[in-house]
Amino acid sequence: MKIYHQQVLLSILALSLLLGSCSEPQLSNENERATFDYPKTVKGNVVDEYFDTRVPDPYRWLEDDMSYETGEWVIAQNKVTQNYLSVIPYREKIRDRIEKLWNYEKVGAPFEEGGFTYFYKNEGLQNQYVIYRIARDGQTEIFLDPNSFSDDGTTSLSSLSFSQDGSLAAYSISEAGSDWRKILVIDAVTKEAIEEPIVDVKFSGIAWRGQEGFYYSSYDKPQGSELSAKTDQHKLYFHQLGTSQKEDKVIFGATAEQKRRYVGGSVTEDGRYLIISGAISTTGNDLYLKDLTEPNSPLVTILDDTDAEAYVIDNADTKLYIVTDKDAPNQKIVTVDASDPRPKNWKDFIPEAENVLLPSTGGGYFFAEYMIDALSTVYQYDYSGNRLREITLPGVGSSGSISGKRKAEKLYYSFSNYNTPSTIYELDLASNKSKVYRESGVEFNSDDYVSKQVFYSSKDGTRIPMMITHKKGLVLDGKNPTMLYGYGGFNISITPSFSTTNAFWLEQGGIYAVPNLRGGGEYGKRWHDAGTQLNKQNVFDDFISAAEYLIASGYTSSDYLAVNGRSNGGLLVGAVLTQRPDLMRVALPGVGVLDMLRYHTFTAGAGWAYDYGTAEQSREMFEYLQGYSPVHNVRQQAYPATMVTTGDHDDRVVPAHSFKFAAHLQGKNTSQSPMLVRIETDAGHGAGTPVSKIIEQYADKFGFTLFNMGFNELPYQYGEN
């Protein structure tokens, strides 16, 4: 969103004349809650028609992120929100404690490129990780420092890719959290730029073809706002080093027959094949290859079925290893010769199993991770398909991918769960032994906490797993502050992982509960499909049933329950808030997809139709979407305390979703609970957000939650240090 600097200097009087009162909150003696007047949000007269049904959209004007009026509305709303948050007596204590928890050295696993050993490191509170490298003589130096990209830390490193011999590197950067990127190319030895940046790149990898150049993906720059205008046809380009970007060749996506919303290119480790994936939606893709050893070789089809997913995980000369869910909802690995790689010639290599397969490769082996009730079990295979052994994990939780180059002698993986900080392990392939490579330095004693898995029944009787984490010795008296987090979409599996910010919540005696909702990928394609389109209500029912389980079991009560989710999880929270406002005390919908009738008209939203369907698809689909769309289901009734969060540069889920939802809540809520919208400036959907902003965001989120649960001081008081 464009908010000009001079606008910030407008007087409060001018804002009041334009938007209504922005008075500071006044504490009420009765419940010590703030009551105040929201900025007036003008209603327009826009009405859409779907299948002879007229649907008003009074806040359509908030979709215009380039308008002066929208910019002023953002300023006014942020003023009200910050005024409210400033009243919370322990807000700074929360910020200070999270900052202290965050302030420890973090070092990633090493990787080899061109005779150097590289690793990511953050000294503690740096806004962005720094990339270091160690030369053969043992000298360590900074290779890239993203903290130098901008003064305020809002320009971040998105990806880094080395040429095959490691002598060249290309990296992409994001400015203010936008999905639009720039690619910079440098000599990896001298670290000097060797040509002008590639600009206007979006949803792209960087795949080198020898030392000649690299493949990348993007859309034609849209007309109007680059932050909200629809992007529809993705293209794969090849950039030849030493030439200008305007000379880059379109490899795929140039014709109507090749029109795809998402196109990606990768090059096999041996440099032999270019693999191209094309997708109409976020689920399913067709797959192609091109032999790079043959001049002008044709594009060969591997799979032309966008109802299935497939990708090439590795190759051995002309033998391809393909991961797919075609005729295998839990995924399998097949092999086929590149001369005719169509499905009729596929042979099972690691067949489909009862549990979902998540494979990786490294050191000349395959590593098959299986999710068993969303928990990791890992086996090692050779290239003949023989299972060699199980990798012993240190506990019950999530294993990071065991991966690396074919010739690597040592591989690295991480392990964590909700009460165990992430530890990096080194796997020596000669001895088949793992050892701790680096432990987390976070100030958190895992022995004081317990994390357990329970199962409960959803509305239709479906068995749903949920992880519940809290301090040992918890009393089930229904008065424990509880954060219920959910996602439930896009085949994404929510597996146990440690969060430094959630460590604060647990320290305060809070419960952190995470159910594995339908719509995710924890139990394969069938589980995903059970939470899509006309089945989307299953996801909301699963989440509601999780809350009811926690309440019925005495963990918490409605007065101490907060529901939290981001993106598709923001939709989840918005839908549950409008369907069951009695269920929780606090709702925290973040960067949510909240206008289900128009989500597909912005940026790449049309690609989400596999999960959601669209309002134009059919009358049945329109009525279903209208029936749960949060923006369209805010009623004149009492709602729990709600803080909607978004970023003004979010060009994935545009902030208009959050703006319109907040406007409806402020206009229709009949309770004294606050209906706030917190709009982060110079921030996007989340990736690359500076540490300083992350700490502020969580301090506000936890402060808002505890304050509205009735806590006038923190449940657990820290000492002077």
Query: Which of these, 379, 372, 430, lies nearest to 397 by C-alpha position?
Result: 372
**Cα separation of 599 and 597, whole Å?**
6
Is 685 annotated in the active site?
Answer: yes
Q: Supply 63's token pair.
A: 């979709």
Query: Which of these, 90, 36, 95, 38, lies nearest to 707 by C-alpha position?
Result: 90
**Cα separation of 647 and 694, whole Å?**
12
* Bridge partner list, 370: 357, 377
Provide long-range contacts, Cβ within 8 A and 24+ apart, for 145-152.
Answer: 146/173, 149/173, 150/175, 152/682, 152/690
Q: Supply 507's token pair.
A: 């320290």
Catalytic residue among 161, 497, 567, 658: 567
Instruction: Give the E-state strand segments of 397-480 in sequence order.
Output: 398-399, 410-417, 420-428, 433-438, 449-457, 463-471
Q: Supply 234's token pair.
A: 């993705």
Give the amino acid at 149.
F
Is 161 annotated in the active site?
Answer: no
537-552 vs 568-579: helix crossing angle, rounded to 10: 70
**Apex 253 CA angle, 252 and 258, nearest 5:** 105
Q: Supply 164's token pair.
A: 């095959």
**Cα separation of 483 and 473, whole Å?**
18
**Cα separation of 634 and 628, whole Å?**
10
On the CB side of 367, CA atoms within 13 Å amount to 25
Catalytic residue among 528, 649, 664, 685: 685
Residue with tokens 């991918």: 401
**Cα separation of 287 and 302, whole Å?**
5
Query: Which of these, 627, 531, 532, 620, lies nearest to 579 by C-alpha position?
Result: 627
**Cα separation of 559 and 565, whole Å?**
19
- The residues, any chain, with a CB within 8 Å of residue 139's CB and separated by 6 or more, are none
**Cα separation of 581 and 693, whole Å?**
30
Torsion angles phi and psi, residue 534, rounded to 5: -75, 0
**Apex 553 CA angle, 551 and 559, nearest 5:** 25
Beta strands 641-647 and 586-590 are: parallel
On the CB side of 493, CA atoms within 13 Å amount to 25
Residues 395/494, Cβ–Cβ less than 8 Å:
no
**Cα separation of 668 and 198, whole Å?**
47
Beta strands 234-240 and 482-485 are: unpaired
**Cα separation of 634 and 17, whole Å?**
27
Per-state percent for the chain, helix, strand, coil, to nearest 5:
25, 35, 45
Residues labelled catalytic: 567, 685
